[in-house]
Chains A and B, each alone.
Chain A
């Protein structure tokens, strides 16, 4: 087994101990079985247990380990170590308050997600069987329902940085579209009303950082465009 030493620069801040944040230079031995950045982070933590970060599934479906890696948001568990220029600079996701080290406070992000009423609204009495949906209708949800709420997109969006309290952000808007696109949902016009505002939807200036960083390959900009089209159509 071949091992090599990798150099890291990690954003450190523990409000219980530090006056202000600093960058820590640290190295770690990785071997050929360590494929992903998360493998290296786990080894770093074994070396220095005070480094704090979130992680869980280690396969890109839970959305816990989003961090800013060499200036770009991504999931540590899906980032190949071999492609990373060194020193690997790790910072918390930008634009959200830092709790400690690589852990950010996601309250604002989830508040925006909750604001779009992320649940199916259908006021008909439920039938005894499933509500029918054709395969084509179901296909409309592909590329939308797979979101893992990692926040890579919203925290790479300048509009969200400026107005995290007013602009829903790409993650929330993608989910708004997920319910608008669902033929079983009856609240399309209520959902559009909810977004008709100078900030909530229209602060998206199609910068497309969200598309660029999404670790699941989803396209929030396209979904936002579709919502905007529906707004326009119903206005005329």
Chain B
């Protein structure tokens, strides 16, 4: 196959919220930019975000970025980097107001300002009581945001390569990133995109689990590409299980439902969160609520014939409020649970939702990796933002509405840093190393020639079941150990997948096989990182690290207050320290996390 080369100042992979926000920075700066995306931009998974984006605007009651910062550090179970968290919380108002100026149709208060609702873990005055911080467009905030960002890019004349799948990162012997290879789905043609700046905004990989709120396209492509190019993945053991996925279907029901007054109930109709989080109750942090729900179910207080879900009840709310603030939820509930939430509660279970870890970056969006004696050296030419990146602002558990904020803040900062770096650079483009291009060609041609290959669908199911059974809401030492062996066995199959479809034209079987190459890297990284972390923290809770007086919640700061780095080569693990020093304010000191 012939590989053509196309040359740009910058290339962005992914056109969800982070990619589109970065693209604006680059397009408006006049740099020649290509945005490569597997799907038309408004089909990206940001579209499915519901409840809102956090910013301490204080439109309905007093709020402060410092309180938001405190909540985020606490939510992260102190694993988040406090410099990046301060940066994000301080930037929140600016990026949300910008978005409003772009045309985002936020709901409004009577004073005409952006409407804000309470959300899990967001409190006033350093953890005192819930505060209205989530800026919302009904329960379709992600849709409204993604379309507003796309529309602004139409205005900026951004150049998109739609339905192109990025295959591999092009990195030379010095470790510099020089672009990506990509496949045009419609023609099957492969192109090497040469660029001085490569920004990954490829989103998450929730499809490693069997039951997930994530779209089919969330296959961790950026993580797979980074891992194959020798970049480590950070904190991959931390996956958020959203408390309220529709039982059986996995479709997301926003926490905004509880923000508007929704209550979780067990089979006795009891508001059980009062026992687990006496202060925040149903608005405790997501990991806390998910564990409470699974505990209720495990102890026999689940609902339904198999007692395998709990109920999310909003029947006590004014139907007008539901129609006005939660219309999309009502639609989803009728469609996927067969119940109208105005009349009946919605059956829900914790469902894999968000990847806290990812490609390690600093708060400027530069990808960082260990080099010589330093753990955080910028990889020249490489940037990442959004769910695929780990800045790390979410640490061991993300607060609701901080993901949309993350993609705005770090999409913008990655864009800004890339613009600065490209403009500073006086050098011509470096030559592309042929080996990097060969590697992509080999991956594609293997699929054309593989004899007696493993079935893609079956191999993916095996991976998803392994992750679901061995690395879920609660984790067990023996299960994790077994999980490592099982997932490595699945990896063997993935290396020899075969497809029947050999067409060049829109070959979706080939796309799914290439996606599985990326998913499996994420799954292996997750299982190995989780098995190794011998403590409980945030979303990672193990049976052999229980709540004790010396180690509240099973957290072991003495040994485990550190970020995991997983390297593909040899499945090696390394660790780096958490940045406990913020930019300007004092450190938020370690303490027991309770809501």
Using a CB–CB cutoff of 8 Å, the interface residues on chain A facing chain B are: 14-17, 33, 35, 45-46, 48-50, 52-64, 78, 99-101, 103, 106, 110, 114, 117-120, 122, 126, 128-135, 137-138, 141, 145-146, 148-149, 179, 182, 184-185
Contacts and interface: CB of A to CB of B under 8 A. Distances in A.
Contact of B48 (A59, A110, A118, A131): A59
B506 A59 contact: no
Contact of A15 (B40, B147, B331, B505): B505
A184 B103 contact: yes
B499 A100 contact: no
B435 interface: no
Nearest to A141: B105
Interface of B: 39-40, 42-45, 47-48, 97, 100-103, 105-114, 137, 140, 143-144, 147, 151-152, 154-155, 186, 215-217, 248-249, 251-252, 328, 331-332, 335-336, 455-457, 499-501, 503-509, 512
Given A49-B499, A119-B154, A128-B97, A64 B509 contact: no
Contacts of A52: 506-508
A119 B103 contact: yes
A55 B216 CA distance: 7
Contact of B332 (A49, A59, A149): A59
Given A15-B505, A61-B47, A120-B103, A130 B151 contact: no
A100 B43 contact: no
Nearest to B249: A35
A135 B108 contact: yes
Interface-centre pick from A53, A59, A133 (highest chain B CB count, 10 A): A59
B251 to A, nearest CB: 5
29 contacts: A14-B503, A17-B503, A49-B456, A49-B457, A50-B501, A50-B503, A50-B509, A52-B506, A56-B43, A56-B217, A57-B47, A57-B215, A58-B251, A59-B251, A60-B331, A61-B48, A63-B43, A100-B505, A122-B101, A126-B101, A130-B114, A132-B111, A132-B112, A134-B112, A138-B108, A141-B105, A146-B140, A179-B103, A182-B103
Contacts of A122: 101
Given A58-B216, A120-B102, A132 B48 contact: no
Contacts of B332: 59-60
A33 B464 CA distance: 17
A131 B111 CA distance: 11
A6 B586 CA distance: 64
Contacts of A106: 40
B549 to A, nearest CB: 45
Given A52-B508, A145-B105, A33 B110 contact: no
B505 A14 contact: yes
B110 A59 contact: no
Interface-centre pick from B112, B248, B336, B455 (highest chain A CB count, 10 A): B112
